[in-house]
Amino acid sequence: MKHLIYMAVLLMATTSLRIAHAGGQEIRTCEFKVKARCESGDASVTLADGVVTRVEVSVYRCGLPGKLGYSCTIDSSRSDRDSIWSEDGGATLIDNASPFNSNEPDRIKVTAGQYVSIDLDKAQSLGRCGVGADLPRAIAIPAQRGACRVRLGPP
């Protein structure tokens, strides 16, 4: 019985870690809540030997009373065909291969260091978000456990 309890505690401890290392990969994740705007979300970046290989962002916004909310989702990896990856001065640039508005850039800029910075200022919300939801301008994932630092656009 003690062994089962120890295994359960070990399992809970390993699944609750915010930073995971697997096969030379580091996964940094964080969550955020902005109560005043009724928004929440999470972000995850996978690094392989310091190189960004995957970016995931989910943003949720409350709906009106009795109505469903809205969401924005980004899930991009170097192996997908929906994005074009490049490097620029220590940053990883991820361009949407088929943006909603082809006349405007649809780019995510990710910089990995003590914080992993996800710059969404040039990312298009249309095509990724439900009506009434927007992507944040930027998200910073701390090196250790903690909440995301989020910069939102105007309400």
At 47 the pLDDT is 94
At 23 the pLDDT is 61
Closest CA to 131 of 72, 43, 59, 67: 72
At 131 the pLDDT is 72
Per domain, the residue ranges of the chain are 20-151
At 37 the pLDDT is 85
CA distance linking residue 24 with residue 19, whole number of Å: 13
Q: Is the pLDDT of residue 97 over 80?
A: yes
Q: What is the pLDDT of residues 39-72, one digit of tens each?
A: 999 999 999 988 999 999 999 988 878 878 889 9
CA distance linking residue 100 with residue 72, whole number of Å: 14
**CB of 147 closer than 8 Å to CB of 32:** yes
Here the tokens at position 84 are: 């074009």
Q: Give the residue with greater pLDDT, 140 vs 5.
A: 140
Q: What is the pLDDT of residues 102-154, one digit of tens each?
A: 999 999 999 998 899 999 999 998 888 877 678 899 999 998 777 899 998 87
CA angle 7, 29, 152 (to 5 degrees): 145
At 153 the pLDDT is 80
Q: What is the mean pLDDT of residues 91-96?
A: 96
Q: Is the pLDDT of residue 32 over 80?
A: yes
